[in-house]
């Protein structure tokens, strides 16, 4: 706890003394060297070492109230539509950067960072792209990424290189698109490699929706990112869009899902957050999401998908932080409060140590629960609890049911021998005080039968 407070104080001092994010943000009430609550979303997020952004529509920049809220509250922007393929290259080889430039210039003049959205996406794709054969399509994709990233080279903090490449539902398959259908699934890594070669300073993200909790779609993305990291495909971050409503609620495993991705060695960004609803219920959901991000050290920032309810793509669901009259909603206050009092988990400064601490004592127990299941698979969690003495490491053996196997496991290190999977702690979750607990989770394919959980040991 002492270390956490020290870190938070140090972060706030650093920000107050002039990091770029804090310099950008109006309304910060902290005095030099103190750790007062900040008065705006951007300033409060900066004190947590994060950014707080919004989607921006170029044609709203003429509206005074819109611009006032934008400039006061946010320190990152994402052009809502102006950097999509149909906006930038409506006909082959003919680029129009005008509208997007206006947003980028607005942001740069106020030291706001810019997220680029998006280079390769099946939607808002001009019809000429879909009519190309494979060879020409590959050339067109290469040219598009190259021209667009070169235009803003050094000015975009993170790019959504590929957007929404996976199908909804439980198949875990790639979505059909001209890219997928003509170039094959390899188009995704091709896009990332081209992007890295054009602007090595930009963070390269994969961005998708309905991947905010642990489910078959997010696990398919997880497996892709894991494979990319293993093979050296350049990927730096995963964007979780965060479009929530009653059909797609904020689930209890939101934070856990972010954690498993972070454990792969990528940053996390909440890229298009909006939550339909109103009043305290909406506020509570926003609180869950922001807390979830702050609890994960690699979650580097949050973008809401618009400034005001009246211009939201889901306007009737009033999903944003400011109402149609630019009044702050309860959700705004909840978010600001969380950012001001929020988690003390520091953002990454160096990679975590890879070897567990030596020694081990005490005893532990392990219990299994099913988190969610579908035909032919499930997600499960094992809770590891220390006995009456502290432990510094733990091992849990699982015997998998016939025909089933683990396809992804997070918050633990596992080895497989036949049907036996041995799970040991990660470097950061081996030490448990007496009676304290931690969890590891996994995805199983091949059936729904639960594994037999063997005795937890601390040797
Ligand atoms: O600007 C034209 C206007 O001139 C015309 O009269 C009008 C007629 O339909 O269309 C206007 O363009 C619309 C544009 O939004 C600007 O408002 C498009 O029709 C409309 O399709 C477009 O919708 C956007 C949508 O992406 C397209 O897929 C939304 O604004 C935008 O919020 C939404 O954002 C996506 C993210 O990029 C990816 N993730 C999901 C998210 C929500 O769908």
Task: With cut-offs at 50, 70 and 90, classify the pLDDT of residue 351.
Answer: very low
pLDDT at 251 over 80: yes
Name the residue of 83, 163, 308, 313 whose CB sits within 8 Å of the most ligand 1 atoms, as the mutation to test its pocket: 313
Name the residue of 54, 57, 61, 81 whose CB sits within 8 Å of the most ligand 1 atoms, as the mutation to test its pocket: 81
Tell me the pLDDT of the chain averaged across its residues. Answer: 88
Burial class (CB in 10 A: 0-12, 13-18, 19+), 18: exposed
Which residues partner with 379 through β-bridges?
A: 372, 443
* Distance separating alpha carbons of residues 96 and 86, to the nearest angstrom: 10
- CA 117 to ligand 1: nearest atom: 37
pLDDT at 30 over 50: no
* Distance separating alpha carbons of residues 46 and 51, to the nearest angstrom: 6
pLDDT in tens, 152-161: 999 999 999 9
Nearest residue (by CA) to ligand 1, atom 4, is: 59
Q: How far is the CA of 206 from the centre of ligand 1 (A)?
A: 20
Residue 35's pLDDT is: 56
Task: With cut-offs at 50, 70 and 90, classify the pLDDT of residue 67.
Answer: very high
Q: How far is the CA of 209 from the centre of ligand 1 (A)?
A: 16
* Distance separating alpha carbons of residues 55 and 427, to the nearest angstrom: 37
Greater model confidence, 40 or 17: 40
> What does DSSP say about strands 420-424 and 437-445: parallel, antiparallel, or unpaired?
unpaired
Quote the percentage of the chain above a pLDDT of 70: 87
Name the residue of 54, 57, 59, 80 whose CB sits within 8 Å of the most ligand 1 atoms, as the mutation to test its pocket: 80
Q: What is the mean pLDDT of residues 379-400?
A: 92
What residues act catalytically? 272
How many C-beta atoms lie closer than 10 Å to residue 455's C-beta?
A: 11
- For 53, residues 6+ apart whose C-beta sits below 8 A from its C-beta are 74, 75, 76, 77, 78, 112, 113, 115, 301, 302, 303, 304
Lowest mean pLDDT among 181-185, 338-342, 375-379: 375-379
- CA 305 to ligand 1: nearest atom: 32
Task: With cut-offs at 50, 70 and 90, classify the pLDDT of residue 355.
Answer: very low
Q: What is the mean pLDDT of residues 301-318?
A: 97
**Six token digits for residue 218:** 């997010």
Q: How far is the CA of 84 from the centre of ligand 1 (A)?
A: 10
Burial class (CB in 10 A: 0-12, 13-18, 19+), 245: middle
Residue 93's pLDDT is: 98
In sign, the C-alpha dihedral spanning 67, 70, 76, 78 is: negative
Residue 346's pLDDT is: 43
Q: What is the mean pLDDT of residues 339-352?
A: 54
In 3D space, the residue among 164, 274, 258 whose CA is nearest the CA of residue 208 turns out to be 164
Q: How far is the CA of 85 from the centre of ligand 1 (A)?
A: 13
Nearest residue (by CA) to ligand 1, atom 34, is: 80
pLDDT in tens, 72-119: 999 999 999 999 999 999 999 999 999 999 999 999 999 999 999 999
Do the beta carbons of residue 137 and residue 186 sit within 8 Å?
A: no
Q: How far is the CA of 220 from the centre of ligand 1 (A)?
A: 27
List the helix and strand counts (H, then E) for the chain: 14, 17
Burial class (CB in 10 A: 0-12, 13-18, 19+), 26: middle
pLDDT at 394 over 90: yes
Model pTM greater than 0.85?
A: no
Residue 299's pLDDT is: 98
Residue 360's pLDDT is: 55
- CA 209 to ligand 1: nearest atom: 39
- For 44, residues 6+ apart whose C-beta sits below 8 A from its C-beta are 37, 38, 52, 336, 339, 340
Residue 428's pLDDT is: 65
26-35, 251-260, 410-419, range with greatest mean pLDDT: 251-260
pLDDT at 176 over 70: yes
Q: What is the mean pLDDT of residues 43-60?
A: 97
Nearest residue (by CA) to ligand 1, atom 21, is: 124
Q: What is the mean pLDDT of residues 243-247?
A: 96
* Distance separating alpha carbons of residues 164 and 376, to the nearest angstrom: 24
Residue 139's pLDDT is: 98
pLDDT at 423 over 60: yes
Lowest mean pLDDT among 34-38, 121-125, 202-206: 34-38
pLDDT at 188 over 70: yes
Task: With cut-offs at 50, 70 and 90, classify the pLDDT of residue 441.
Answer: confident
Ligand 1, CB within 6 Å, residue ranges: 80-81, 123-124, 209, 241, 272, 313
Q: How far is the CA of 430 from the centre of ligand 1 (A)?
A: 47
In 3D space, the residue among 99, 108, 67, 96 whose CA is nearest the CA of residue 81 turns out to be 99
- CA 123 to ligand 1: nearest atom: 28
pLDDT at 365 over 70: yes
Residue 361's pLDDT is: 66
- CA 306 to ligand 1: nearest atom: 32
* Distance separating alpha carbons of residues 430 and 436, to the nearest angstrom: 11
Residue 153's pLDDT is: 97
**Locate tokens 């170039």: which residue?**
183
**Six token digits for residue 455:** 């005795």
Which residues partner with 423 through β-bridges?
A: 396, 414
pLDDT at 26 over 90: no
pLDDT at 261 over 70: yes
Q: How far is the CA of 81 from the centre of ligand 1 (A)?
A: 6
Lowest mean pLDDT among 62-66, 208-212, 360-364, 382-386: 360-364
Q: What is the mean pLDDT of residues 424-436?
A: 82
pLDDT at 436 over 80: yes
């Amino acid at each position: 706890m002492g270390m956490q407070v020290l870190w938070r104080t140090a972060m706030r001092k650093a920000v107050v003394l002039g990091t770029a994010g804090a310099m950008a943000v109006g309304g910060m009430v902290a005095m030099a060297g103190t750790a007062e609550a900040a008065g705006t979303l951007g300033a409060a997020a900066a004190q947590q070492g994060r950014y707080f952004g919004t989607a921006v529509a170029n044609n709203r920049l003429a509206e005074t109230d819109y611009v006032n809220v934008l400039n006061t509250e946010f320190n990152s922007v994402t052009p809502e539509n102006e950097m999509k393929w149909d906006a930038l290259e409506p006909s082959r080889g003919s680029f129009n950067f005008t509208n997007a430039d206006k947003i980028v210039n607005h942001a740069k003049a106020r030291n706001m960072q810019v997220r680029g959205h998006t280079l390769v996406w099946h939607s808002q794709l001009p019809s000429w792209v879909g009519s190309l054969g494979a060879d020409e399509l590959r050339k067109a994709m290469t040219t598009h990424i190259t021209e667009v990233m070169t235009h803003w080279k050094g000015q975009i903090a993170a790019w959504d290189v590929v957007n929404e490449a996976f199908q909804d539902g439980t198949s875990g398959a790639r979505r059909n698109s001209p890219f997928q259908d003509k170039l094959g699934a390899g188009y995704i890594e091709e896009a990332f490699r081209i992007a890295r070669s054009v602007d090595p300073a930009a963070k390269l993200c994969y961005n998708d929706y309905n991947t905010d909790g642990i489910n078959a779609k997010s696990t398919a993305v997880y497996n892709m990112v894991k494979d990319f990291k293993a093979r050296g495909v350049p990927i730096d971050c995963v964007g979780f869009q965060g479009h929530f409503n009653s059909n797609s609620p904020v689930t209890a495993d939101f934070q856990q899902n972010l954690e498993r991705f972070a454990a792969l060695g990528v940053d996390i960004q909440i890229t298009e957050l909006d939550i339909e609803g109103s009043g305290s219920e909406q506020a509570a959901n926003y609180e869950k999401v922001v807390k979830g991000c702050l609890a994960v050290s690699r979650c580097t920032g949050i973008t809401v998908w618009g400034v005001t309810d009246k211009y939201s793509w889901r306007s009737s669901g009033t999903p944003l932080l400011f109402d149609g009259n630019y009044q702050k909603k309860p959700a705004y206050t909840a978010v600001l409060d969380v950012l001001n009092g929020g988690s003390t988990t520091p953002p990454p400064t160096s990679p975590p140590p890879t070897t567990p601490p030596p020694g081990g004592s005490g005893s532990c127990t392990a219990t299994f629960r099913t988190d969610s299941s579908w035909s032919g698979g499930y997600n499960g969690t094992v809770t590891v609890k220390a006995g009456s003495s502290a432990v510094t490491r733990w091992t849990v053996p699982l015997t998998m049911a016939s025909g089933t196997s683990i396809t992804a496991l997070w918050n633990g290190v596992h080895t497989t021998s036949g049907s036996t999977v041995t799970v040991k702690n990660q470097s950061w979750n081996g030490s448990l005080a007496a009676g304290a607990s931690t969890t590891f989770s996994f995805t199983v394919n091949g059936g729904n039968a639960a594994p037999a959980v063997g005795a937890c040991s601390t040797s």
